Amino acid sequence: MPRKPATAQADTLQDIRDGAFALFGRYGYDGVSIEDIAKAAHLSKGALYWHFKGKDALFLDCLKRLHAIFEEHVFNRMLDEQDAILRILACFQGMERLLRDPRIKAGVAGYWLGIGNASLPAINKAQQGFEQRTGEIIREALKRAMDQGLLNLGSDLDDMSRAIIAIMEAIILPLRQQSPDEVHRLVGVLARALLRAYARDERIVSIADKVLNIKPVY
């Protein structure tokens, strides 16, 4: 059988990746078969195997794609900010951007469902590496604000780092059909709660109000 032109091959590959990304995001690794992905891409299983060795390779590809979306909206933006408070606020702004991203509109909770009894080192390594990097970036942002005398987290530093990650997951994973205004208010409340609890100066809360475009509540 003659090979498809390069553009057709690229389109087919994208169809596979898009279909698999949405299916895994909704049903998880165990809830999706190669047949499901081939059907979503309008291909035969044989044609799909021409592009990917199997479900493991496809899931890993999709997982890395999800990580890249998080990096784009949240963590790269955080690292671009040199100001300690603005770096923390960039995390909350990133959550809002994530919820607006059409690439994850179908849902991403499936990537957190786990992988049954299978032992898949490459997938586990990718996820563990992402979670470690995520924790380090958030912790470093909070620690920088502490070192500059802006926040007084004390012994809550590590717990707060984990709490922010848990909050991020609680907001993003369900992908509730909330309006942009509702999402904006929710993210704003969370940012204000953090800063009101730990800020050494009330002016820091005012910075959050301005950056996140929040109407102060008295």
3-state DSSP assignment of residue 199: strand
60 in Cβ contact with 129 (< 8 Å)? no
175-185 residue pLDDT tens: 767 777 888 88
As given in the structure block, the two tokens for residue 81 are: 């900010």
- Structural domains of the chain sorted by starting position, each given as residue range(s) with its CATH number in brackets: 6-211 (1.10.357.10)
* DSSP state string for 54-115: SHHHHHHHHHHHHHHHHIIIIIHHHHH--SHHHHHHHHHHHHHHHHH-GGGTT--GGGGS--
163-215 residue pLDDT tens: 999 988 888 888 767 777 888 888 888 888 888 899 988 888 888 888 877 55
Q: Read off the pTM.
A: 0.86
As given in the structure block, the two tokens for residue 182 are: 């509702």
As given in the structure block, the two tokens for residue 208 are: 């959050």
